[in-house]
């Protein structure tokens, strides 16, 4: 039966490259990313052969811990179904305990595990200075592979058992993005270190802590031996690694038994009779559209998830600026303006997110201005308090209260001018967006790069409108305090004029291009 499962796994791997062109490109891209990571890790391990033992120990434990954590976390947040889900073998009459062992063996045949095996072999080469470390590196490699395979099996099964609703899958994806956000600065700090003969103290201590955890215990066995650790410490970490693999197998076997003897959960559909935002907003056309937009932002992950992606980009960019020596006070002053233009960016293609439901607004007739004004409600509800509170907080933490007028002016201008520009672009140049019910992390291909051009147009137009306020703010911070107040007046004035003009022009465009907008929604 094990041979049959292995044949089945090989067939699944083979079928993954005989799908449609788009699926093949996705598989190819994922494989290239995994291969690039494996090659990078392998090159780093080979380079560590000539490094100091302390540096090699720190790098191997930190990098190895990230690899093990990835095998636990990625299956939970990826939303990919498991081809070897034990529930698919219920009708074959295989005992659950036996099936658990066979599925683990079959799980060895996967691209990530095979690349991990290559990395483990190179780790063995890294610690091949003498026979003792070579033998321990081989043992550690077996324990690492067993831990990663069992961890991924458990994560896939937990995802299939409990992350069955669309909301649960979306939440898992968002949590994965947040985890990436938290790990990115740590990796950037790790890479940017100027290693001395004894290594970085902070990272060395972090590696020492991880070496006693299930994530890094197996990697630490040969690494500690190479730096001359006492045998008792190495033996203790060996038992931690063995216990980890044993407990994971026991948990996997228990989960297989549970999955084989329990009824599959089905997503429950609940009907909420409360009116929510429709009861709170004015009984006008603008109020109804504002209530609809606020409801979407609260319940549809397609709206906030792209903002999370932009926030990650900003966060990683800030970390890069800190690494290269940009003063922290400058980054603090830039935070609120950057968040404001990010919020305004979310309206530049909001019509496409409606998909075919946009016909409700088109069929109502002459609804352009209320449509444009109502869709701004969620952004203003977030942006106005953000500017009022965040600007004061930024000035406080930067120790520069004189910059407060400029912060208010630039942030207000970027938010309002961005909303005005977005109101025009979303009505004039909608491009394909994620369909209702699809994963918020998917993105349809826009023809001829139209989506990219619309995004660039939004950025350029918004910064051109905010340029007077930004220039006054920069000159004021460089030595002319009077221009800081000029930045406030310019920012507020240009922002108000821009959002009013953009709403009127966008509303007229919406009324004029109603049939084209509906046709574009049908093609999405």
Of residues 314 and 424, which shows the higher confidence score?
Answer: 424
Of residues 115 and 486, which shows the higher confidence score?
Answer: 486
pLDDT at 504: 93
pLDDT at 418: 93
pLDDT at 67: 85
Nearest to 160 by CA among 83, 89, 92: 83
Which range of 57-71, 199-213, 411-425 scores highest in mean pLDDT? It is: 411-425
pLDDT band at 448 (very low <50, low <70, confident <90, very high): very low
Q: Is 67 exposed, middle or buried (0-12, 13-18, 19+ CB in 10 A)?
A: buried
Neighbouring C-beta atoms of residue 200, cutoff 10 Å: 18
Which range of 89-98, 102-111, 124-133, 148-157 scores highest in mean pLDDT? It is: 148-157
Nearest to 95 by CA among 83, 103, 106, 105: 103
pLDDT band at 468 (very low <50, low <70, confident <90, very high): very high
pLDDT band at 480 (very low <50, low <70, confident <90, very high): confident
Q: Is the pLDDT of residue 110 over 50?
A: yes
Average pLDDT on 462-474 reads 92
% of the chain at pLDDT higher than 70: 71
Neighbouring C-beta atoms of residue 350, cutoff 10 Å: 25
Average pLDDT on 315-325 reads 69
Cβ atoms of 154 and 68 within 8 Å: the answer is no
pLDDT at 284: 86
pLDDT at 24: 52
Least confident of 107-111, 240-244, 335-339: 107-111
H/E element holding 145?
A: helix 131-162
Distance CA 425, CA 454 (A): 7
pLDDT at 412: 93
Angle subtended by helix axes 217-226 and 111-126, to nearest 10: 20
Q: What is the mean pLDDT of the chain?
A: 77
pLDDT at 232: 83
The pTM assigned to this predicted structure is 0.59
């Amino acid at each position: 039966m094990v041979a049959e499962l292995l044949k089945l796994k090989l067939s699944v791997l083979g079928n993954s490259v005989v799908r449609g062109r788009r699926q093949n490109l996705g598989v190819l891209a994922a494989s290239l990313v995994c291969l690039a990571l494996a090659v990078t890790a392998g090159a780093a391990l080979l380079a560590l052969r000539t490094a100091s033992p302390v540096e090699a120990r720190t790098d191997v434990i930190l990098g190895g811990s990230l690899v093990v954590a990835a095998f636990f976390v990625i299956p939970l947040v990826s939303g990919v179904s498991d081809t070897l889900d034990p529930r698919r073998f219920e009708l074959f009459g295989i005992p659950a305990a036996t099936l658990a062992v066979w599925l683990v063996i079959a799980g060895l045949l996967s691209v990530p595990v095979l690349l991990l095996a290559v990395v483990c072999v190179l780790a063995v080469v890294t610690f091949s200075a003498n026979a003792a470390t070579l033998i321990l590196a081989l043992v550690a490699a077996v324990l690492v592979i067993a831990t990663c395979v069992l961890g991924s099996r458990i994560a896939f099964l937990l995802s299939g058992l409990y992350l069955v609703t669309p909301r649960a899958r979306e939440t898992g994806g968002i949590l994965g993005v947040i985890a990436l956000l938290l790990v990115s600065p740590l990796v950037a700090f790790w890479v940017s270190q100027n290693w001395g003969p004894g290594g970085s103290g902070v990272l060395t201590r972090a590696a020492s802590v991880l070496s006693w955890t299930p994530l890094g215990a197996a990697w630490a066995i040969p690494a500690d031996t190479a730096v001359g650790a006492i045998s008792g410490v190495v033996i203790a970490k060996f038992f931690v690694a063995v216990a980890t693999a044993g407990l994971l197998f026991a948990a996997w076997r228990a989960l297989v038994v549970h999955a084989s003897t329990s009824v599959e959960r089905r997503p429950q559909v609940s009907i909420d009779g409360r009116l929510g935002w429709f009861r709170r907003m004015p009984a006008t056309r603008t109020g109804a559209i504002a209530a609809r937009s606020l409801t979407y932002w609260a319940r549809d992950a397609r709206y906030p998830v792209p903002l999370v992606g932009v926030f990650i980009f900003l966060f990683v960019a800030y970390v890069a600026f800190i690494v290269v020596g940009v003063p922290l006070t400058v980054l603090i002053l830039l935070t609120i303006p950057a968040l404001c233009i990010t919020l305004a960016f979310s309206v530049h293609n909001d019509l496409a997110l409606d998909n075919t439901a946009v016909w409700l607004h088109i069929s109502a007739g002459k609804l352009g201005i209320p449509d444009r004004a109502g869709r701004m409600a969620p952004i203003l509800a977030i942006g106005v308090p953000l500017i009022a509170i965040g600007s004061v907080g930024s000035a406080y933490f930067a120790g520069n209260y004189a910059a407060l007028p400029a912060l208010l002016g630039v942030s207000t201008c970027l938010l309002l001018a961005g909303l005005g520009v977005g109101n025009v672009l979303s009505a004039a140049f909608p491009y394909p967006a994620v369909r209702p019910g699809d994963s918020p992390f998917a993105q349809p291909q826009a023809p001829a790069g139209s989506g990219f051009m619309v995004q660039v147009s939004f950025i350029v137009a918004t910064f051109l409108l905010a340029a007077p306020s930004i220039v006054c703010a920069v000159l004021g911070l460089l030595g002319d305090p009077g221009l800081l107040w000029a930045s406030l007046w310019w920012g507020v004035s240009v922002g108000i004029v821009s959002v009013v003009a953009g709403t009127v022009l966008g509303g007229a465009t919406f009324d004029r291009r109603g049939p084209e907008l509906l046709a574009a929604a049908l093609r999405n």
